[in-house]
Structure 1
Amino acid sequence: MAEPFSVRVEVRGYETDTQGHLNQAVYLQYAEHARWAMLRDAGIEQHDLLARRVGPVVLETTIRYLRELRAGDSVDVGCVFEWGEGKTFRVLQEIRKTDGTLSAEITGVGGVLDLDRRKLVADPREIFKELAKDPGAFGL
């Protein structure tokens, strides 16, 4: 398995709810930000995906909220791809405060959509291997 990718984010005041906690929907935005940052870090740009006529899609997401986050907190948003057989893969993500406190766990199921056929590609690993300058970032 590859080393987990991580990107740092600071919780902004406008992302909090009336209790002063990070709004639940923003956790999904942080997770999405980390996934796109990981793709870029591995050498896959959005224009590369569009030129190849494919795009990553989220099919399922589960979030476990464990500790509150407040404005001004800095967090590291991790991302690890887990491959199985077939058209889908899992993405395991953690949001941790810089003191190590685990604030949330996000587990997702994803795939790669053929933009012309509007169907999932048979083996998403092959797309990542083809487009990434560093497929090892995805454990490939």
Structure 2
Amino acid sequence: MTASPALDDGIASSPDEVDHRTRVTVRGYEIDALGHVAHTVYMQYAEHARWERMSAAGLNVGVLLRAGVMPVMLETTLRYHKELRFNDEVIVGCDFQWGTGKTGRIHQPLQRGDGVLAAEVTSVAGLLDLARRKLVEQPLDKLRELADAPELMGL
């Protein structure tokens, strides 16, 4: 899945995918000494957008903890394209890409409000069984079972 160029609020659907965007505004305390967003903040924006999308699908922290599972990040890459500065609007996408194994990929473009791609976060994630401390063998089945709106997760 790739992010669509449209920058609309909330959730929009197309024939192939369900796209979810989270909007944030760069705050003063997120700026580093060079005058742009500090590197760790990009990761926080991505994390926030992932939880927003999961919550919209009915997969909030409480639901997951009661089920004894929690998503885990196994690998994350951050690629910078253009600077983000104080008061910029940032639109963070969150596209889940599922395979047949225990892990999936997440692609998260971060665009400025003017549509310019500022950065991309790509991750490999799994679903951890909290009691066994091992990845769930069939994570898609478990997520479908727990979600109110599994289509929002691409399930």
Give the deviation of 1:35 after TM superposition: 0.3
Q: 2:30 corresponds to which letter in structure 1?
A: E
Other-structure match for 1:5? 20
Equivalent residue runs for 1:78-97 within 5 Å:
78-97=93-112
Give the Å deviation of 1:26: 0.5
Find the residue that maps to 2:65 and give its secondary structure.
helix
Deviation at 1:127, TM superposition (A): 1.8
How far has the Cα of 1:17 moved from its partner? 0.5
Amino acid at match of 1:59: L
**Is residue 80–residue 91 contact of structure 1 (8 Å, CA) maintained in 2?**
yes
Matched residue of 1:4: which SS? strand
Which runs of 4 or more aligned residues in structure 1 lie more than 6 Å from their structure 2 counterparts after TM superposition? Answer: none
Match of 2:76 in 1: 61
Q: Give the conservation status (yes or no) of the 8 Å contact 2:26–2:90.
A: yes
User: Aligned letter for 2:58?
Assistant: G
Secondary structure at the residue paired with 1:69? coil
Partner of 2:122: 107
Give the counterpart letter for 2:36 in structure 1: H
Which of residues 42, 45, 51 is equivalent to 2:57?
A: 42
Does the CA contact (< 8 Å) of 1:57 and 1:113 recur in 2? yes
Segment drifting more, 25-34 vs 121-130: 121-130
The equivalent of 1:31 in structure 2 is 46
Alpha-carbon deviation of 1:2?
2.2
> Percent of aligned positions with the same letter in both sequences?
51
RMSD: 0.8
Q: Name whichever of 128-137 and 29-38 sits farther off.
A: 128-137
Identify unmatched segments of 5+ residues in structure 2: 1-15
Residue 45 of structure 1: how far off its partner (Å): 1.6
Equivalent residue for 2:145? Answer: 130
Q: State the one-letter code of the partner of 1:61.
A: T
